[in-house]
Structure 1
Amino acid sequence: YWPPQYVVYDALTLEPLARNDVPMQSITGETLPEVRVAAIAASHHDPLWALAFKESGFVGLVDYTLPGFPLVKNIATERFLHDGGWDSTGRYFLVAANASNKMVAVDMQTQTMAASFTTGGTPHPGRGANWFDPVYGWVNATPHVGEPKVSVYGADPIGRPDVAWTVVREITLPSAGSLFLKTHPNSPWVLFDTTLSTTSDKQVCAYNKETATLDRCFQAATNGKATHFEFNQAGTEVWVSDRANDGAVVVLDGTTLNEINRITDLVTPTGKFN
């Protein structure tokens, strides 16, 4: 996180190409001693990176076609931004303002904040997850570090403006302490961890997209904490980390959720990306 800068590398050689400082002013005009870049996500439609500036509350846009990779826009949202991802169309950057207990939707087409709304105690969606709800259409969701629940919210302002950026369902989990959720179009499940729980940190929970109900919670980790999911490209497998010094990556069937493999002898495995 330190210093408050972003660095651009050549994607093939990893040669550093630019190092740029980030603005130190907050959305309220305060000069801050620290502004962390908490997330970077590439636009699906334009040559832009969206940067979540944590302490200041701005979402910065970097145009990577311009010399020096400058920050070309600073969009005021909510303070204490963290991680985020995209809606189903790729138009909206959905990012948690976790210490503000809110989610923020930034319209990348108009380059403005479309909405901010309260979800619960310390939302932590990671990149988030999109699926088609049987009642509310396209939705996204966030679990929470500070509350044992997942907030599902409408995420289709064109098709379902009546529920857009509104919490439409709350899924009760056995414990607080969730960090990540994940789904895949070919899997019937949305999966949640409770990594920071004091009682359920080895478990993962599975939500049925078709019935809109929490189907089950089960132990996935044996030596450490269960955390972070990644599906393979086909959606036939989902990988879960058993985060410990003698850790593993647990491979589950994407439909049955039965364990089909375990990659062992890993030291504190965490994120996995396909």
Structure 2
Amino acid sequence: MKTILAAALALTLLMPAAHAKDAKEPDAAALYAQHCAECHGAGRLGGTGPALLPENLRRLRKSRAADVIAKGRVSTQMPAFGDTLSEAEIAALVKYIYTPLPSMPVWGEKEIRASRHIPVDVDYSVTRPQFNADPLNLFVVVESGDHHVSILDGDTFERLARFRSRYALHGGPKFTPDGRYVFFASRDGWVTKYDLYTLDVVAEVRAGINTRNIAISHDGSVIAVANYLPHTLVLLDARDLSLKHIIPVRAANGETSRVSAVYQARPRKSLVVALKDVPEVWEIPDPDAEQPTIRRIAVPEPVDDFFFDPSYDHLLGAARGAHKGALVLNMNTGKVVAHIPLPGLPHLGSGITWTWQGRPVMATPHLGEGRISIIAMDTWEVIKTLKTPGPGFFLRSHEKTPYAWADVFFGPNKDKMLVIDKRTLKIVKVLNYAPGKTVAHVEFDRHGKYALISVWEMDGAVLVVDANTFKVVKRIPMKKPVGKYNVYNKITFSEGTSH
């Protein structure tokens, strides 16, 4: 009897401890709201960061997700929480983000059409710019710090306008062929059309829940929207952003996929689409057709990031999470014709081209290693590897300058800007315009005379630098100016800028 009573007493004594342990179980929803919702959305549907749903995390193991939460992710703006959260809290967050939503959110024809907005006070009679600046030498500057866009005169570098944008613009703005209109996409699916003649927003629509980027067709008639969620490619009429088509993204085997990116292939008069979760690249030959067709091209693995050669006959593609280098896809035959050893996560979307000793070459920075790779596009060989003080994000140049500029975006040398001589393939200058600050993303004016550089901070600025003397001629205060885009360089497909 004593033994039974002792056991019962022991069990009674243990029960409060068990309840105390239960009480200390991390509240994953509260942790998410505190640490994750600002970037990934309150409903896990995405914001500046991607949606955190099982459907979007299929290629990320739970152990790797825990590692990303603890250590951050070098190729993104994901910070490390290892010093803030315990192992138990991180484990609770991993379990939470891999838990399906009670119901999958729907964003289809009804929702898209209902979201479209046309301001009533737009003046469509305007046929010329309502200012004296060169409309083709304007800069569109995305300020992510307070979600605004500034329009700069590329000759005087005076601000012509500044307006509030949608939250977390992503993927770079796209311009109509005449340079009059510019289109923006936000992470949460909003597409905005802005008139650079009147300096007004003229149309908006929400085309998805979590959007990667947009592209404009070669003739400026169609805007294509690449969505992570839902798994769709949405085609909009560029005139008023009305809905034309919703294309469900399914591989040949029926598996659905997020869209990594969509780009215009102007010489081919087509759109090219990379799929995130399945090994296919799509080409849409006539996006303005009544029923657009899809050409499916099989590739060895899904492609996250890609680059076209100047003829658009070849696509260089790489998987962001893989360290296998890049593949070269002949767009005419649909065959992979080469593999390029490019370890360290090449950022192909930021690559540039020029002619070196009579040969076409392209250069790409790397997100995971301090290197810039220079590739001969006639043989697809790496002919030069430049060691840099850290991983970089952007690489830029212009036809009228002998130099290419590269940032060192990650690590202790984030304040360095590298100048590469395109004739010798050597780094000839290491510049430091803002010690201790992140300095990134160069864009030239239409004449190649000035290089505009971002001080990528909340109390940041756009620095206007003489491209020959490397001297700062003007400092324009900005709120974290993440990107600057020159109208002329974009619509003429300058070899020194991204397309």
User: Is this a same-fold pair by TM over 0.5?
Assistant: yes
Partner of residue 161, structure 1: none
| Superposition deviation, residue 152 in structure 1 | 0.8
2:476 counterpart SS class? strand
How many positions carry a matched residue from both structures? 257
| Contact 1:88–1:138 (8 Å) recurs in 2 | no
Larger Rg: 2
Partner of residue 369, structure 2: 147
Partner of residue 5, structure 1: 232
1:126 counterpart SS class? helix
| Superposition deviation, residue 20 in structure 1 | 1.6
Correspondence 1:74 to 2:296: yes
| Superposition deviation, residue 212 in structure 1 | 1.6
CA separation in 2, counterparts of 1:85 and 1:61? Answer: 14
CA separation in 1, counterparts of 2:467 and 2:261? Answer: 27
Gaps of 5+ in 2: 1-227, 487-499
What is the aligned-residue identity percentage? Answer: 26
Letter matched to residue 268 of structure 1: K
CA separation in 2, counterparts of 1:14 and 1:247? Answer: 33
Which has more helix, going by share of residues? 2
Residue of structure 2 aligned with 1:18, choices 232, 235, 245: 245
2:461 counterpart SS class? strand
Partner of residue 265, structure 2: 43
Gaps of 5+ in 1: 157-163
Cα offsets for 1:15-56 (capped at 9, x unmatched)? 33222221257xxx7946xx3322222113222111122332
TM-score by length of 1: 0.84
CA separation in 2, counterparts of 1:23 and 1:221? Answer: 47
1:45 counterpart SS class? helix
Map residues 153-164 of structure 1 onto 2, 5 A cutoff.
153-156=375-378, 164=379
Residue of structure 2 aligned with 1:191, choices 395, 402, 405: 405
Partner of residue 147, structure 2: none
Which is bigger in relative contact order (C-alpha 8 A, separation at least 6)? 2
Partner of residue 179, structure 1: 393
| Contact 1:249–1:269 (8 Å) recurs in 2 | yes
CA separation in 1, counterparts of 2:481 and 2:464? Answer: 13
CA separation in 1, counterparts of 2:479 and 2:474? Answer: 17
Letter matched to residue 203 of structure 1: K
| Contact 1:78–1:97 (8 Å) recurs in 2 | no
Q: Residues 235 and 22 from structure 1, CA distance in 2 versus in 1: closer, same or farther, beyond 3 angstroms?
A: same
Deviates more, 1:37-46 or 1:209-218: 37-46
TM-score by length of 2: 0.48
Which has more strand, going by share of residues? 1
Partner of residue 137, structure 1: 359
Q: Residues 77 and 255 from structure 1, CA distance in 2 versus in 1: closer, same or farther, beyond 3 angstroms?
A: farther
Deviates more, 1:226-235 or 1:61-70: 61-70
Residue of structure 1 aligned with 2:419, choices 206, 211, 217: 206
Give the alignment's Cα RMSD to 1 decimal.
Answer: 2.3
2:230 counterpart SS class? coil
Partner of residue 160, structure 1: none
